[in-house]
Structure 1
Amino acid sequence: MHVDPATATSTAIILTNSHGQYLLHLRDAHKPICDPGTWSLIGGGPEGQETPNEAIVRELREEAGLVIPDLKLFTTVSASGPHVTEGRIQVYEGRWDGDADRLPVTEGIMFRWFDVDTMVHLSMCPWAYEAILAHHAGNASCEIAPVPAQRPVASRGGARAVKNVIGAHLYLERDGRTLLGLRHPDAAYAADHWHALAGHVERESVRSCLVREAAEEAGLVIRPADLDLVHTVHLLDHAGAQPRIGLFFRATAWRGEPEVREPDRCVRWEWWPLDGLPRPMVPYTRAAIDAIRAGCSYSEMGWA
C-alpha cells in the first residue's frame, strides 16, 4: 500500500466476508462526534506522525481487536459536518470472516454484518454508505447475478413480464472533473442531491434522448456520433419498485458551457473532481462513475 499522508486527514476500512456482507460499526448517539448514532466504518485519523497506512492498522486493533493482512486502498472520499475535520478520508478494503458479535467494543455500541440491500433501512453515515455502494458496484455487481426464485416478477417473461424504465445519462469529463447538477429541493426525484444530466427515454433512441436533454437542461450541443456507451446499471429501488436501466454515455466532444435551463429541476451545474465527488449524491450515479473509472461496463443495485 502506498498513500501520500499529506492527502488524508482520516481513514476508514471496508471489511467484507465470504457472504458478500459488510462489517458496520454503530456509533454512539449522544457524544460530540462526527455522524453520531449512525452505522459507519471502522476508522479514524492519524495520530502524531502516523501515515494513513499506520493509522488504519492501529484503528482496527484499538476499535475491534483485529489484525487484517493485505489491506488495499480502495478510494478517497470527502466528509464535512459538525465535529468533522474538513478533509479527505482514505478508504481501505480487506477481508475478514469472523463473528461480529465476538469483537471487543472499545468505542461505539456494536458491530454487525449487513448486506447492501439491508442498508437502505439503516441510519447510515452518508459517506460510508456511498463508499460501500461504490465498492459493491465495482466488485460483486460487475457480474450479472441471477434473480432468486422468490422474486420472479423481474425475471420471467410472458404474462408476468415487467417493463423496465430506461434512463439516459450523460458522463462528461474535463481536466479530471465530471459535470453534475444539483437537483431542485422540490424535485420529484433526488431532491437536493447531485446527479448526472439525465432523462427518461421516450419514443426515440437513447443517443437522441441525450442530445435533446443536454440541450434542454444545460444548453450543450452534442452530436449522437460523439456519444459512447461506457456503463449500464440495472436498478431496483425496493421490492415493489419498477426496475430501471441506466445507460451512461460519455461525450467525446461537445459545444457550449453548461447553464441552468430548467431551474425547476436543476439549480446549479458544477464540474467536480473525480476523486472528490460531492455529497449528497444519487448513490447509483456515484457508483456508476466509480465503475467507469474502474473499467467496469455493467453493475446491478438493489437486487438480491
Structure 2
Amino acid sequence: MPPTRTHIRSTVEAYLARHPHERTALAGLSAVLDGPGDPCSRTALPGHVTCSAVVIDRDRRVLHLGHKATGLLLAPGGHVEASDRTLLAAALRELHEEAGIQPVSLCPTPQFLSAPIDIDVHDIDANPAKGEPTHQHYDFRFAFYLAADQPPAIALQDEEVAGAEWRPFADVSSPTLRAKLLEAGLDGRPEPVNASVLIHDDAGRYLLHLRDNHPDIWEPGTFALLGGGRKPGDPSLEATIRRELAEGVPGLHLPDLTPFTVEEATNVDGLCVPIQTFSGRWNGSPDTLQLNEGVLLHWFPLEMLHRLRLPPSTADLLHRHATQHPPQAEAPQSPAAGGTVRNVIGVHLYLEDDEGRILLGLRHPDSAYAGRTWHFLAGHCERESAVQCLVREALEEAGLVIGPADVEHAHTVHLRDNAGAEPRMQIVFRVRRWKGTPEVRESDKCLGWKWWSPKALPQTIVPYARWAIEQVLAGQPYSEMGW
C-alpha cells in the first residue's frame, strides 16, 4: 500500500519544523492532503506527491541523470507506486530503477536521517498523449551518502534516462535543493546514525532483547542489543541510547556508557547504517523491569548464544567484547534440589482509601531497584517481625502511624526474578485503619504518593506488585512468580 496521509503529513511537519517560512509555499500540498483522492496518485489534481533521491559522494557532488521526457539533468526520482511503504522507500526505488544503485550502497545523512532535505513545488506541462493537464509536483527529496569511498557502477534505465553526471553543490540544477545543500554542511562522509548498548554483568553474561516478530521492523523476531535510531533532538549518540532506554525499558539505568565499536547493518529500508555500540555494566534483574517494546529481556552466557536466533554479526560482537572484558565474578547458580537457601523477606502495604483506591509510590530514578516505577510502600525485614517491619517502614517512608493489631495478611508472592537470583517472600499486608496523610519522607527513594484505582493501575508498575494486587482482589492468599 502507498504511503498514508498520516505518514505524509508527519513528514511535511518535520520538514516545516526546519523551514517554517515555507508553510505558505506548501499550502497547495496541504490542500491535496485534505482532498478526497490519493495524494500520491498521478491522477490527483491539481497536483500530487513525487519523490527524489539526492545521492552525495565524498567530494560533495550530487548525482544527476538526464531525463528524456524533459531534457533536463535532475536527481533520480519519480512518481510513488502502490508498493512503496514510505516516501523514502519511493525515492530509493526510483534511484534503483533509473540508475541501478541499490539502497545498501547508501547511508542516511546524520543531519536529515529519514526527513527530506527539500520539498520542491514545480509546474508540469500538459501531456495530451497521456491525457494529463497542466499540474504540479510536490517533490520530496531525501539525501543519502555513498557507503563506500568510490561511487558504485551506474546502470541507466534506457527508457527514461540518458547520461549521468556528478555535480558540485553549487551547480545542482534545482535552485531550492542547491540552497539547502549549501546551507546544510553535508560533507559526504558517513557517520553513525544509530546507537546500541552492549549490557554485561560481572559474571560475563549479556542482556539481550527479543524483538517483536513484525515484518516492518528491523530484524524481527531475533535477539538483539537494546538501542535505536538517532532523532533530531538527540544532542549525541549517548543521548540516543539513554532516550531509547527511558522509552523502552524505564528503570534500567546505566551510570557509565563507554564507546566500544562502530558496526554496519542494513536497516528495514535496505540502507547501510553505521551503528555506534556502547558498553555498559549492570548487575540487576531484567524481570523487575517494565518492557515497553519487544517480547522479553534476559541474561545469556556466551555458551548459550549458538542456541538463539541471533544475527551472526551480533554474536561476533559479543564474543569480541568478552575477550576484552573477562568475568569478574562467578555466574549466579540455581541451588541444588534439597539445599538450604536463604529467602529474602519483603513487606508491602496494601492501603485503600474510602473510594477503594490503592496507595502506590513513584520510586526515585536513582533508586537501586525499579527507578521511575510505581510500587507498594515496601521494605526488607531486618531483625524484626514482618508486622513490626511494616509498621516501621510506613512511618519512616510516609509518616503513617499503624497499630500492629490493625495489620492483616492479604497475599504472599514467592518470587524469583531469574534463575540465579535469591528467592524472595514478598508479603502483602492490608491495613484498614491508620493515622496520618501520606507524605514523602525519604525523597531519595520516593518522588511522591498517589492513590490508584485497581482497575486503572499505572503502566510503569513493578510487575509482581500488579500481580499481587490482582491476587488480593481475587481473594488468593498465596502465589508464585518466576519459578
- For residue 65 of structure 1, what is the aligned residue in structure 2? none
* SS in structure 2 of the partner of residue 250 of structure 1: strand
- Aligned mates of 2:289, 2:394 — CA distance in 1: 35
- For residue 104 of structure 1, what is the aligned residue in structure 2? none
| Deviation, structure 1 residue 38 | 8.8
Are the counterparts in 2 of residues 127 and 279 from structure 1 also a CA contact under 8 Å? no
- For residue 350 of structure 2, what is the aligned residue in structure 1? 171
- Aligned mates of 2:405, 2:449 — CA distance in 1: 24
Say whether 1:269 aligns with 2:454.
no
- For residue 418 of structure 2, what is the aligned residue in structure 1? 238
Are the counterparts in 1 of residues 363 and 370 from structure 2 also a CA contact under 8 Å? yes
- For residue 213 of structure 2, what is the aligned residue in structure 1? 26
- For residue 162 of structure 1, what is the aligned residue in structure 2? 341
- Aligned mates of 1:216, 1:123 — CA distance in 2: 27
Q: Judging changes above 3 Å, is the alpha-carbon distance between structure 1 residues 269 and 122 closer, same or farther for their aligned structure 2 residues? A: closer
Q: Judging changes above 3 Å, is the alpha-carbon distance between structure 1 residues 121 and 198 closer, same or farther for their aligned structure 2 residues? A: closer
Q: Judging changes above 3 Å, is the alpha-carbon distance between structure 1 residues 155 and 259 closer, same or farther for their aligned structure 2 residues? A: farther
| Deviation, structure 1 residue 180 | 0.2
Alignment partner for residue 286 of structure 1, among 453, 461, 466?
466
Alignment partner for residue 186 of structure 1, among 349, 352, 366?
366
* SS in structure 2 of the partner of residue 26 of structure 1: coil
- For residue 202 of structure 1, what is the aligned residue in structure 2? 382
- Identify unmatched segments of 5+ residues in structure 2: 1-210, 223-246, 248-285, 297-332
Percentage of identical aligned residues: 53
- Aligned mates of 1:240, 1:262 — CA distance in 2: 31
Q: Judging changes above 3 Å, is the alpha-carbon distance between structure 1 residues 154 and 202 closer, same or farther for their aligned structure 2 residues? A: farther
Q: Judging changes above 3 Å, is the alpha-carbon distance between structure 1 residues 167 and 25 closer, same or farther for their aligned structure 2 residues? A: same
| Deviation, structure 1 residue 29 | 5.0
| Deviation, structure 1 residue 122 | 12
User: Which amino acid in the other structure matches residue 376 of structure 2?
Assistant: A
- Aligned mates of 1:272, 1:154 — CA distance in 2: 41
- For residue 404 of structure 2, what is the aligned residue in structure 1? 224
Are the counterparts in 2 of residues 236 and 301 from structure 1 also a CA contact under 8 Å? yes
- Aligned mates of 2:288, 2:425 — CA distance in 1: 23
User: Which amino acid in the other structure matches residue 172 of structure 1?
Assistant: L
- Aligned mates of 1:200, 1:297 — CA distance in 2: 20
User: Which amino acid in the other structure matches residue 192 of structure 1?
Assistant: R
- For residue 428 of structure 2, what is the aligned residue in structure 1? 248
Deviations 1:28-71 (A, max 9, x none): 5549xxxxx799xxxxxxxxxxxxxxxxxxxxxxxxxxxxxxxx
Structure with the larger RCO, 1 or 2 (CA within 8 Å, 6+ apart) = 1
- TM score, norm. by length of structure 1: 0.52
- Aligned mates of 2:381, 2:362 — CA distance in 1: 21
- For residue 66 of structure 1, what is the aligned residue in structure 2? none
- Aligned mates of 2:374, 2:361 — CA distance in 1: 5
Are the counterparts in 2 of residues 195 and 281 from structure 1 also a CA contact under 8 Å? yes
| Deviation, structure 1 residue 252 | 1.3
- Aligned mates of 2:216, 2:288 — CA distance in 1: 17
- For residue 98 of structure 1, what is the aligned residue in structure 2? none
- Aligned mates of 1:206, 1:290 — CA distance in 2: 22
User: Which amino acid in the other structure matches residue 452 of structure 2?
Assistant: W
- Aligned mates of 1:123, 1:262 — CA distance in 2: 23
- Aligned mates of 2:294, 2:441 — CA distance in 1: 30
- Aligned mates of 2:215, 2:352 — CA distance in 1: 40
Where does 1:62-211 land on structure 2 (aligned, <5 Å)?
A: 125=292, 153=335, 155-156=337-338, 160-174=339-353, 175-211=355-391
| Deviation, structure 1 residue 26 | 3.3
Are the counterparts in 2 of residues 230 and 297 from structure 1 also a CA contact under 8 Å? yes
Are the counterparts in 1 of residues 287 and 417 from structure 2 also a CA contact under 8 Å? no
Are the counterparts in 2 of residues 211 and 224 from structure 1 also a CA contact under 8 Å? yes
User: Which amino acid in the other structure matches residue 282 of structure 1?
Assistant: V
Are the counterparts in 2 of residues 164 and 242 from structure 1 also a CA contact under 8 Å? yes
* SS in structure 2 of the partner of residue 153 of structure 1: coil
Q: Judging changes above 3 Å, is the alpha-carbon distance between structure 1 residues 122 and 234 closer, same or farther for their aligned structure 2 residues? A: closer
Superposed CA RMSD in Å reads 3.3
| Deviation, structure 1 residue 27 | 3.9
Are the counterparts in 2 of residues 38 and 125 from structure 1 also a CA contact under 8 Å? no
Are the counterparts in 2 of residues 38 and 123 from structure 1 also a CA contact under 8 Å? no
Are the counterparts in 2 of residues 169 and 196 from structure 1 also a CA contact under 8 Å? yes
- Aligned mates of 1:193, 1:155 — CA distance in 2: 34
Are the counterparts in 1 of residues 397 and 441 from structure 2 also a CA contact under 8 Å? yes
* SS in structure 1 of the partner of residue 390 of structure 2: helix
